[in-house]
Copies of this chain bind each other. A is one copy, B any other.
Amino acid sequence: MERVEHAIQDKYPEDFAWCYGCGYLNKRGLHFRTGWDGEHTVTIYTPQPEHLAMPGFVYGGFIASLVDCHGTGSAAIALHHKNGHNIEDDVHPPRFVTASLHVDYKRPTPQGVTLKAVGTVEEIHPKKFKVETEVFAGEDLVATGEVVAVVKPDSFR
């Protein structure tokens, strides 16, 4: 997959589409979009020039943000599928929040290269999913991540 045509974030209800990382209504946000390639979840993004750690290399906090939204989006795709829906359906998917986030930085991530996050989702409870993610810069694995995402609790209202 070279681009994400159908993204789960495009189907979030408007009330939950303001996320800085992935909300389509956040004008200053990053607009991460997560899709399904038939086997894994996929988020594709090219960091902006300001997202650097040092000249030539991408900021680790940016990669953490990518892993975060890729994780909640991947969990939403998984539960949406379990509920009998596809991303293409005109049905609001469940909205997840992050319980924990872990990133291992495997090597410096070069700037100016499109990043691809590839996720594998595991249900660990009907309302809690674990997403293992590999982040590639071109062919190179630059980071691995793990997100535990839970269905948005009422405390977010």
Contacts and interface: CB of A to CB of B under 8 A. Distances in A.
A65 to B, nearest CB: 3
Interface in A104-122: 104-105, 107-108
Contacts of A107: 155
A29 to B, nearest CB: 6
Copies of this protein chain in the complex: 2
A102 B144 CA distance: 12
A27 B100 CA distance: 30
A28 B50 contact: yes
Given A20-B50, A99-B104, A102-B102, A61 B61 contact: yes
- Ranked nearest first, the 5 interchain pairs of A and B with the lowest CB-CB distance are A61-B65, A28-B50, A64-B64, A20-B59, A60-B98
